[in-house]
């Protein structure tokens, strides 16, 4: 019975860790006139378009679901706080957030 409890606690901690909010210094916002309507959700194998990659965007309300974006995604975004710049981090899914 104890291995079940350990498994349940581990799964709960993993879920809580991924559900955490976004640090306010990492927040990106869409530039005026921009939208993400052309960014479909990622599939389990990534993006159908070979020129796009799967990424989460760090918004003030939390991380976006993984969506397919191009290399130029930072041209469509700005940082919520001054003195920061948009950056793309590799991974699956990748991360798009602001850094110093």
With 0-12 / 13-18 / 19 or more C-beta atoms within 10 angstroms meaning exposed / middle / buried, residue 93 is buried
pLDDT digits (tens, 9 = 90+) for 35-55: 999 999 999 999 999 999 999
Burial class (CB in 10 A: 0-12, 13-18, 19+), 40: middle
The pLDDT of residue 3: 42
Domain-wise residue ranges, the chain: 22-99
- Residue 20's pLDDT is what? 59
> Residue 21's pLDDT is what?
76
Q: Report the sign of the C-alpha dihedral through residues 6, 8, 13, 14, in that order.
A: positive
Q: What is the pTM of this model?
A: 0.76
Report pLDDT for 7: 37
Say what the alpha-carbon torsion angle 18, 92, 46, 28 is, to the nearest 10 degrees. 70
């Amino acid at each position: 019975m104890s291995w079940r409890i350990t498994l349940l606690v581990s799964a709960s901690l993993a879920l809580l860790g991924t559900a955490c909010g976004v640090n306010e210094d990492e927040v990106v916002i869409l530039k005026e006139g921009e939208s993400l309507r052309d960014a479909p959700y990622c599939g389990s194998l990534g993006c159908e378009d070979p020129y796009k990659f799967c990424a989460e965007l760090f918004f003030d309300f939390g991380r976006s679901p993984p969506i397919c974006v191009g290399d130029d995604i930072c041209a469509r975004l700005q940082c919520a706080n001054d003195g920061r710049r948009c950056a793309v981090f590799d991974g699956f899914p990748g991360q798009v957030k602001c850094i110093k």
